[in-house]
Structure 1
Amino acid sequence: MTTQTAGDLLRHWRLERRLSQLELAGRAETSTRHLSFIETGRATPSRTMLVHLCEQLEVPLRERNRLLLAAGYAPVYGEPSLDSLAMAPVRDAMRQLLVGLEPFPALAIDQNWNIVDVNAGMALMLEGIDPALFTAPANALRLSLHPDGMAGRIINLAEWRGHLFERMTRGIEATGSPELIALLAELREYPGGEIELSLPAPDQVVVPLRLRHDGQELSFISATTVFGTPMNVTVAELAIESFYPADVATKKLLTSAPS
């Protein structure tokens, strides 16, 4: 994204959300004329109006700060380090969630899929991975699809690649993250067969992750948990990715494993 002015950035996000000026003006309870003047720089909006428009467009908090700076205002949303004292309640909540999901695998990630924390259940998935891939910041998608990562153990690799790439594309549309764009380009260069985005079978409810482990085939359903009503960039970009057994054999292996 090469735009610089607040009006340009606002227009970018309006087009990303596929809204006309009339539709956005209706949602924001303002006039189309005023919105047009903001986008073209003929009107100087208040900070409150800009935040209100960002809310209607569901602009990520990081990008809201960028838009406010472009308009000459100070950022509204902080970005404290996850290691800071203020973020201790978030760290505690995240750890409770991860531990509470054991023995099922789960990990905490940021918006670019960099790993923040993992639970003990992830050991099963991460075994055999080249240690070089764990160099900080270790990335969950790189660990999954790199030839020296999990890729060699994923039975439905082409299907799983297609699922992850679709999720990444949606994430790029939602956030505009340059890091995520670069990561997607990198991952597309990895071997793994033609990407499968086939129609689901009549009884299929999700795309499973099918993994080889000690001569067995394990099957997982993935789910994502985010923090509600985040008020700073750090919390807004955190998520818990968890993997639940998709069949009886997988559940039996996980729940019978020694703690």
Structure 2
Amino acid sequence: MDAGAGEVLRFWRRRRGMSQLALATATGVSTKHLSFVENGRASPSRQLLVHLADALEMPLRERDRLLLAGGYAPPQGGPGSQDRAMRPLRQALDTLLTAHDPHPAIVLDARWDLVAANAAADLFWDGVDPELLTPPANMLRLSTHPEGLPRIATATPVCSRSLITRLRRQADEDADDALLDLVLEAERHLTAASGQPPRWTGDGVMAGFELKTRLGVVGLHTVIATLGAPLDVSASGLALETFLPVDEDSAALLRELAASRLGQR
């Protein structure tokens, strides 16, 4: 049975470590009314649910779930509305990905599933276990699995302990068990890795690593930019990860790889 709006609110209030009194004080709602809402004895208005969700800093997908549980359509609801709302964003992302060529660029969702990639990103799939590329390919898994990028890269951004810690915190804050499972899987792969620890040259802003390609080794910097002001839950958590050459030799090799791709068409 699906949870009612009161149950969803109570879950997230407790998740945030707030008492009914604290949430009531923060939102200007009486403790009695909040208690009635949580117990299903009062039917909250859409405005109240949105107000409470804001105070609890609920993830967008959970806000939609709350509204649906309360009997209200999420923002931009209706058949096909998500696809219509996302179309301009997807077109913009496709333009950015294409413009970044001959340098690799990918788009990830909040759980690190691959959403889109440009042609240059093929470098990351060349030499990894094809089973790891079964859609939806997950870049967190691909970056840590011994048959994934560790086969062809000296280090990957996920080797950063600070990133693993951030993703674990995100999974906890969003009550995202699927993301937590991926983080735990990544930690197991990193712990089981033999030999020297992966070389990590990131400083928290830009990370650097080397990637083996069929024409030689390419040095890359990587930057992840999250997309701001999402219009609906489908855009929430999308991130654009771009890769740039660390020196002119790597830049020239990327151009040569791009030219060879064109020559194979």
TM-score with structure 2 setting the length: 0.75
Residues 212-231 of structure 1 correspond to what in structure 2 (within 5 A)?
A: 212-213=211-212, 216=217, 218-230=219-231
Cα distance in structure 1, aligned partners of 2:78 and 2:168: 24
TM-fit CA distance, 1:50: 0.7
Alignment-derived partner of residue 233 in structure 2: 233
TM-score with structure 1 setting the length: 0.76
Residues 55-74 of structure 1 correspond to what in structure 2 (within 5 A)?
A: 55-71=54-70, 73-74=71-72
SS of structure 1 residue aligned to 2:224: strand
Alignment-derived partner of residue 98 in structure 1: 97
Tell me which of the two structures has the higher relative contact order, counting C-alpha pairs closer than 8 angstroms and 6 or more residues apart. Answer: 1
Cα distance in structure 1, aligned partners of 2:67 and 2:224: 33
Cα distance in structure 2, aligned partners of 1:158 and 1:93: 25
Alignment-derived partner of residue 124 in structure 2: 125
Alignment-derived partner of residue 87 in structure 2: 88
The alignment of Structure 1 onto Structure 2 pairs a total of residues equal to: 250
1:243 corresponds to 2:235 = no
TM-fit CA distance, 1:87: 3.6
Shift in alpha-carbon separation, 1:237–1:217, aligned structure 2, 3 A: closer
TM-fit CA distance, 1:149: 0.9
Greater CA drift, 117-126 or 7-16: 7-16
Name the % identity.
36
Structure 2: 5+ residue runs without aligned partners? 260-265
TM-fit CA distance, 1:107: 1.1
Cα distance in structure 1, aligned partners of 2:255 and 2:106: 21
Structure with max Cα Rg: 2
| Mapped contact 1:109–1:240 kept (Cα < 8 A) | yes
Query: After superposition, what is the alpha-carbon deviation per residue over 1:105-152, rounded to whole angstroms, capped at 9, x for unaligned?
Result: 221122222212101231233321122221112111122111111023
Alignment-derived partner of residue 12 in structure 2: 13
- The residue type paired with residue 242 of structure 1 is T
Alignment-derived partner of residue 171 in structure 2: 172
Cα distance in structure 2, aligned partners of 1:129 and 1:81: 36
| Mapped contact 1:3–1:9 kept (Cα < 8 A) | no
| Mapped contact 2:144–2:158 kept (Cα < 8 A) | no
SS of structure 2 residue aligned to 1:155: coil
Shift in alpha-carbon separation, 1:105–1:22, aligned structure 2, 3 A: farther
- The residue type paired with residue 241 of structure 1 is E
